[in-house]
Structure 1
Amino acid sequence: MHRPLLTAVTLLTAPLFACAPEEHPMEGAETLVRSEAALPSGGWGVLMASGGAPIRSITRRSDGILIGGASTGHGITVWASRDNGASWYAHGSVASNPNVEFGDVTMRAIPGTRTIFCAFREFSGGQWRVTVTRSDNDGDSWVYDSTVAGPTTWFVGAPFLFQRANGDLQIYYDSELLAAQRGYSGHQWIAMQGRKGTTGAWTAYGTVAVSWDKRAGALNREGMVTVVQLGGDRLMAVVEGVEPFATGGAHANVIYAVQSWDGGKTWDDSLRRTVYQPRIDPGSGRRYNAYVPYAIRVGNGPVGVAFCTDEDKAGAPDASNAPVDQRNCHVGYVSTTTSFETWSGASPVWTATSRNYTPGLFERALNDVIVVIDGLGTNRVLRR
């Protein structure tokens, strides 16, 4: 499995972290809108054909403005929208440091406050970190909050911030470190750490290993997690993984889900499901890939997942560890059906180009969902 590269990040300690007033805009993110009520025939229509926008993660400020972030390599730009995602403008910066590579930016606004947390991956000096910053004025300025994982030469990254119904703030992230510490060197698991409330040390839950395939000899390389609340303390984590046993000599990317009944403290292996696995290419005998999923609960009903796939490609599948800008990719969508354990087939979101990455979903209003697609630096004119 590609090690969710995104762009590579590392902010080492507070001295290496520097808040910056502005950054160069990140070009090539597109925003699509979809009416759930109209599906499956309604499809997706264009809100914004090209320009800068958040990558993957969007949250809403206390004043109703949408906000998110995107890595520029050695900085993190803040993007905001006053028209519910139809257009975006640069709104300062979370961080800037020429000695640090940043990536995997995610934000989470705390309801009823002006506080927004921003988590990201850092890389510098051969070491990885997962770092959290905080804004107490709706994203106008940022301060260092904490380092969750690292420094370590094992990969840690792709954080996702989640707030439980009881108010606890949790952070989920990719961790080769946790797998190695528990005797599985070469594997990558999802780790979770949490706070009581939104402040203090990330030690309220210990370090939780989110469920993985425990069959003897199975390879586990899981990452790019998103978490949704199914009701009360029942949660679902959706992750990118690999086939545990290779087809055609290669491990393809596959999307999995697992559930927790106690707010993420433990995860129920009996509810581990395959969300989507593409078909096998008859020529090579290898499976096509499905990767970088993003999950949300839509209208207090089904869970919807947007993801990238090379399933429409002619010829052999891409290698699952190929650089993202060299992979053939359309964007697809699946959702739960009669229960949270059953999933629909895939429907297309975006198929007009084949260089895309990290779709991110956000529900602007009940049953009104937008998806932001990273166009990898190119401008698109999207269809309606």
Structure 2
Amino acid sequence: MANGGAPIRSIARRSDGWLIGGASTGHGITVWASRDNGASWFVHGSVANNPNVEFGDVTMRAIPGTSTLFCAFREYAGGQWRVTVTRSDNNGDSWGYDSTVVGPTPYFVGAPFLFQRANGDLQVYYDSELLAAQRGYPGHQWIAMQGRQGITGAWTAYGTVAVSWDKRAGALNRDGMPTVVQLGGDRLMAVVEGVEAFPTGGARANVINAVQSWDGGKTWDESLRRTIYQSRIDPGSGRRYNAYVPFAIRVGNGPVGVAFCTDEDKAGPPDAANAPVDQRNCHVGYISTTTNFETWSGASSVWTATSRNYTPGLFERALNDVIVVIDGLGSHRVLRR
């Protein structure tokens, strides 16, 4: 285990072998890099700085075979939200504005995840209260996707795709924090944080959902929507504990692995699902697919030494060699599995 500065949630590999990632400082985005495969990290410049803008949800994607990287993040300023993309053509040594994916809008949009299809198209998946409201579900939050043909141009090649939402009558949809993995060819899986559609004990807990696409993200198969992990129910309160902020990867071209935060180890009642993250009790757990991509293991522990954590991120440094980056809410740490 290594403690100290590191990226939060998202890591990419540069063409020269360095690892690189970003972390929001509030009104800026710091770039972190590692020359030793994640054992130690150092500051390597910044993506953005603006005292009038709040930045968050930083994610990076390297384009294989090139020195091009993209960094996507949310912005909030003047009561308006945006999802913005910057680009580097020199391995992240310097950055410039690329595009605005969505916004400005008073509806929340954020938590972008950059994904490149097998055909080379670049896609952005993100939380969208805007899309839900536009389609008649104000107060809900869906996962939206927009994409490009290739890696340049407008984010209009796919329209705006609704990725993950529960269509059962009366269900509340608050899906967020998407990550996407390729299962083979154009078969994709999106793993997201959600809430109990029909709650236990009078309060909605966070759960982890997954859904699959057979056509590279153009459409999503509702028959393969699953709640892949929900924490136990507290016998005292009758409420379910939370499982939230998942991050998914394919491990060794085999199973899908998902790291997530949970409060199910705490004594007493569950935390409120809308409690500030720095006031929530949290250990980090891990699940994976088993015999196929529709069946899942029980949870194992990744990190239990502290109880204030957030946004775990997974990165496979080499075949079956995975590191986990956890935001310690002030003391970032890199854990090796």
Band of TM-score, shorter chain: over 0.9
Say whether the 8 Å CA contact 1:211–1:268 is kept in structure 2: no
Q: Find the residue that maps to 1:179 and give its secondary structure.
A: helix
Instruction: Tell me what 2:53 maps to.
Output: 100
| Cα distance in 1 between the residues matched to 2:98 and 2:323 | 30
Instruction: Tell me what 1:129 maps to.
Output: 82
Query: Which runs of structure 1 show a deviation greater than 4 angstroms over 4 or more consecutive aligned residues?
Result: 379-384
Say whether the 8 Å CA contact 2:192–2:209 is kept in structure 1: yes
Q: What is the correspondence of 1:227-376 to structure 2 with a 5 Å cutoff?
A: 227-376=180-329
Q: Find the residue that maps to 2:164 and give its secondary structure.
A: coil
More strand by share: 2
| Cα distance in 2 between the residues matched to 1:212 and 1:92 | 38
Say whether the 8 Å CA contact 1:106–1:119 is kept in structure 2: yes
How many equivalent pairs are there? 337
Supply the AA of the counterpart residue of 1:228: V
Aligned CA RMSD, in angstroms, stands at 1.2
Say whether the 8 Å CA contact 1:61–1:109 is kept in structure 2: yes
Deviation at 1:247, TM superposition (A): 1.1
Q: What is the correspondence of 1:53-92 to structure 2 with a 5 Å cutoff?
A: 53-92=6-45
Say whether the 8 Å CA contact 2:231–2:242 is kept in structure 1: yes
Unaligned runs of 5+ in 1: 1-45
Supply the AA of the counterpart residue of 1:279: R
| Cα distance in 2 between the residues matched to 1:256 and 1:202 | 26
| Cα distance in 1 between the residues matched to 2:101 and 2:334 | 39
Instruction: Tell me what 1:39 maps to.
Output: none
| Cα distance in 1 between the residues matched to 2:228 and 2:8 | 23
Aligned pair partner of 2:173 in 211, 220, 224: 220
Aligned pair partner of 1:168 in 121, 127, 138: 121
Supply the AA of the counterpart residue of 1:256: N
Say whether the 8 Å CA contact 2:9–2:325 is kept in structure 1: yes
Q: Find the residue that maps to 1:102 and give its secondary structure.
A: strand
Deviation at 1:246, TM superposition (A): 1.4
Deviation at 1:229, TM superposition (A): 0.1
Q: Note closer, same or farther for the CA distance 1:235–1:120 as it changes in structure 2 (3 Å cut).
A: same
| Cα distance in 2 between the residues matched to 1:381 and 1:267 | 34
Q: Find the residue that maps to 1:250 and give its secondary structure.
A: coil
Q: Note closer, same or farther for the CA distance 1:336–1:185 as it changes in structure 2 (3 Å cut).
A: same
| Cα distance in 2 between the residues matched to 1:380 and 1:269 | 37
The reply to whether residue 377 of structure 1 matches residue 312 of structure 2 is no
Report which structure shows greater RCO (CA 8 Å, sep ≥6).
1
Q: Find the residue that maps to 2:228 and give its secondary structure.
A: strand
Say whether the 8 Å CA contact 1:59–1:67 is kept in structure 2: yes
Deviation at 1:379, TM superposition (A): 6.8
Deviation at 1:378, TM superposition (A): 3.3
**Identity over the aligned pairs, expressed in percent?**
89
| Cα distance in 2 between the residues matched to 1:97 and 1:361 | 29
| Cα distance in 1 between the residues matched to 2:327 and 2:181 | 22
| Cα distance in 1 between the residues matched to 2:245 and 2:5 | 20
